[in-house]
Amino acid sequence: MENREITLADIFLDILSESQDKGAKLMAERIKAAIKSPEILELVNICVINALGYKSKISSKTVDNAIDSIVSFVHSEIDSSNLSDNDKEKEKNSYKHFAKSLGKILKENLQVAQQLI
């Protein structure tokens, strides 16, 4: 296991993992796998900090890199699915478009909140 400090995101995910809701547990496990990317970890941590009512800053490039890492992570999951190759490509393209749109909205909101550097 890598040596890094425990973040609020880690604590939040540990609590979520203990939920009795199977969907919440699955979501926590998927996020734990994804946050091995430092950019995704930073973005998730910013989201948790914001949810607690605090403000922290993040760079536009880090948000872009996190979105790209999330897309790569989801594309890997799609590749390992039982979908046909054609359906895999449709899913990948759809998800990539969705993630890029979400990233744009996220950066706009962070900019308005003066958290984007």
Task: Determine whether 64 is exposed, middle or buried from the number of CB atoms within 10 Å of its CB (0-12, 13-18, 19+).
Answer: middle
pLDDT digits (tens, 9 = 90+) for 20-37: 888 877 777 777 777 777
**Cβ neighbours, 10 Å, residue 62:** 18
pLDDT digits (tens, 9 = 90+) for 43-72: 888 887 887 788 888 899 989 998 998 888
Instruction: Name the pTM for this structure.
Output: 0.70
